[in-house]
Chain A
Amino acid sequence: MGSDVEYSLDALAEQLLAAHSANDAQRLVALYTNAADLREQAGDINAACFYLTHAFVFALEINAAERRDLQIRLWRHGREVKPEALD
């Protein structure tokens, strides 16, 4: 699964700070998912799961549609409990 925005990690850092300042949780979901995608493509699963975790938390906070897919990704990496719908 990928996000609908794509930035380099350097560009993302600036975007993330702006989204945090604006308290824009939906934007944070997208940006952290983007960062996770980049790190996963680079084979750095730990870093990817770090970013996925943040994306998941902000998705939970605003009940974003992405929350379920994010939880599944984390669960498949052994980083989150199994989504209830998959029990």
Chain B
Amino acid sequence: MVGFGPHLTSETSGLKMGVDMGAQTDIETVMTSVNVAKGLPNAHYVSDTVFEEEKQAVLFKNWSGIGFASDVPEAADAMPVNFLGVPLLIVRDRDGSVNVFQNVCRHRGMTLVSEAQKIRGTIRCPYHSWCYALNGELKSTPHVGGPGFNTHDDIDRDELGLFRVRSYVWHDVVFVNISGDAPEFEDVHQDLMSRWADFEKPMYYNAVDSGITLDLACNWKLAVENYCESYHLPWVHPGLNSYSRLEDHYNVVELGRYSGQGSHVYTQLKRDDGSTLPDFPNLPDKWAETGEWITVYPNVLLGVQRDHTFALVLEPVTKEQTIEHIKLFYASQDAVGDVYADMRARNAALWGDVFKEDIFVVEGMQKGRHAPMFDGGKFSPVMDGPTHCFHHWVASQVSVNRTAT
């Protein structure tokens, strides 16, 4: 293993002497009850081999977030995304639907769109000018039969549309299943979608003041783990003690499905005159003072409150770098207008401070994963259930993949 001394044992590090044995990490100790389980071994945070293994088993085989529908707000908007090396293109069609394609021409594999833009007509490959409609259909193959001959018997345009990637938009997040063989999104996440059915409503976004991007020097999973649990709140976010106390929180642990936290005391922002941001319409009373913050496995962090929601899409750049794309959403067109600009600014600052306060923790844990004797850690059976639930799920995905391969 690069960077690790030969004195290590697989028991303490998940690695064997001198060789990156990440693909053989011991994950059985993770897939047991929280009372006795260990966390994922170091290799799951610092090994190139395991990063590649998880890329396939965890991120490509499931429904991963790659961006937001609001990144392509208008018809014919297109945004390229590089997701773990896979060139993707998010496109809003003229009918309003959002589709994801592999961002490559079917001819020579040239990448098609290099920067976010409005597609005026068709997507033209900059290499030989094959042209694609917004729905991926191949519309033109110039000179394919020789100069001035644009058809050929062996070029079937109907079979040469852009490769469509399975996608699903939920809470404005664009999820994709790169491997193409995951169960339907609505089947995988039906329990969570039912849990939050009250928030299946239009959400509104102000592109000027409601987006935050953070660059984290850590593995993407550490951002998930920190988000899931409330244990750290009084220590890392002392400002929350006045309005979101630890004892008001509860764990959300649904083994094999999702995890996170909630609070029975969600305190709305108020102006001096007592006014608040508009609520989502027709919410049941249970949301009056309750907020929940849950991870949609693998890499999307969602939060719901009566007057706003937010989503964090974790972009795994490398094994030790993650970009956090954060957007806050509101309940009505009015709520994203000038009248509430002051409230949105306060809300964005509040959450921005909380998310920034977490940076030293996730980056500190990443550095800690280079400590050779760290063994994945000991969970609090009471407080760390959500984190263990995530570890258990990741290990299960890896285990299934190892069995299959």
Which of A3-11, A12-20, A59-67 contacts the other chain? A59-67
User: Chain A interface: which size bin?
Assistant: 20 to 34
Q: Measured between C-beta atoms, what is the minimum distance from B152 to chain A in Å?
A: 11
A79 touches B148 (CB 8 A): yes
Cα separation A47 to B147 with both chains bound (whole Å): 8
Please tell me if B121 contacts chain A, counting CB pairs below 8 Å: yes
User: Does B151 touch A at the CB level, under 8 Å?
Assistant: yes
Q: Report chain A residues within 8 Å CB of B121.
A: 59-64, 67
Residue among B129, B139, B147 making CB contact with A50, cutoff 8 Å: B147
B164 at the interface (CB under 8 A from A): no
Separation in Å of the B76 CB from the closest CB of chain A?
Answer: 9
- Give the Cβ gap from A73 to chain B, nearest Cβ, in Å: 11
Write the residues of chain A forming the contact surface with B, with a CB cutoff of 8 angstroms. Answer: 25, 46-50, 52-54, 56-57, 59-64, 67, 74, 79-81
Residues of A within 8 A of B151 (CB): 79-81
When C-beta atoms are compared, the residue in chain B nearest to A36 turns out to be: B148
Measured as residues with beta carbon below 8 angstroms from the partner, the interface class of chain B is 10 to 19
Are B122 and A53 in contact, CB atoms less than 8 angstroms apart? no
Q: B120 near A: Cβ within 8 Å?
A: yes
* Closest A residue to B131 using CB positions: A60
> Which residues of A lie under 8 Å from residue B352 when comparing CB positions?
none
B356 surroundings in chain A (CB, below 8 A): none
A62 CB, min distance to chain B CBs, angstroms: 4
**A60-B150 in contact given A67-B121, A81-B157 (Cβ < 8 Å):** no
Taking the closest CB of chain A, its distance from the CB of B148, in whole angstroms, is: 3
26 contacting pairs across A/B (C-beta < 8 A): A25-B120, A46-B147, A46-B148, A49-B148, A50-B143, A50-B147, A52-B148, A53-B150, A54-B142, A57-B124, A57-B129, A57-B131, A60-B121, A60-B122, A60-B131, A60-B139, A61-B120, A62-B120, A62-B121, A63-B122, A64-B121, A79-B148, A79-B150, A79-B151, A80-B150, A80-B151
The 9 closest A-B pairs by CB, nearest first: A63-B121, A49-B148, A50-B148, A62-B120, A61-B124, A60-B122, A53-B142, A80-B150, A57-B129
* B124 close to A53 (CB less than 8 A): no
B129 closest partner in A (C-beta): A57
Residue from A54, A60, A79 with most neighbouring chain B CB atoms (10 Å): A60
Which chain A residue lies CB-closest to B123? A61
Give the interface centre of B122, B142, B148, B151 by most chain A CB atoms within 10 Å. Answer: B148
Closest-CB distance, A42 to chain B (whole angstroms): 15
Which residues in A have their C-beta under 8 angstroms from that of B131?
Answer: 57, 60-61
Assess the B120–A53 pair: CB atoms within 8 A: no
Minimal Cβ-Cβ distance residue in B for A58? B124
Q: Which residues of the other chain, A, contact B140 by a CB distance below 8 angstroms?
A: 56-57, 60, 80
B143: chain A residues at CB < 8 Å are: 50, 53
Q: Which residues of B contact A56 (CB under 8 A)?
A: 140, 142, 150
Assess whether B235 is interfacial by the CB under 8 Å rule. no
Contacts of A59 in B (CB 8 A): 121
**Using Cβ atoms and an 8 Å threshold, which residues of chain A touch B148?**
46-50, 52-53, 79
| Cα-based distance from A52 to B184 in the complex (angstroms) | 45
Assembled-state Cα–Cα distance A50/B150 (Å): 9
Please measure, in the bound complex, the distance between the C-alpha atom of A79 and the C-alpha atom of B151, giving whole angstroms: 6
Q: A16 to B55, alpha carbons, bound, how many Å?
A: 47
Collect the chain A residues with CB atoms within 8 Å of residue B157's CB: 81
Interface string of B112-137 (1 = CB under 8 A from A): 00000000111010000101000000
Q: Which residues of B contact A49 (CB under 8 A)?
A: 148-149
Query: Which residues from A are CB-within-8-Å of B120?
Result: 25, 61-63
B120 nearest CB neighbor, chain A only? A62
Residues of A within 8 A of B147 (CB): 46, 50
Complex CA–CA separation, A48 to B370 (angstroms): 67
Interface centre among A47, A48, A63 (most CB of B within 10 A): A63
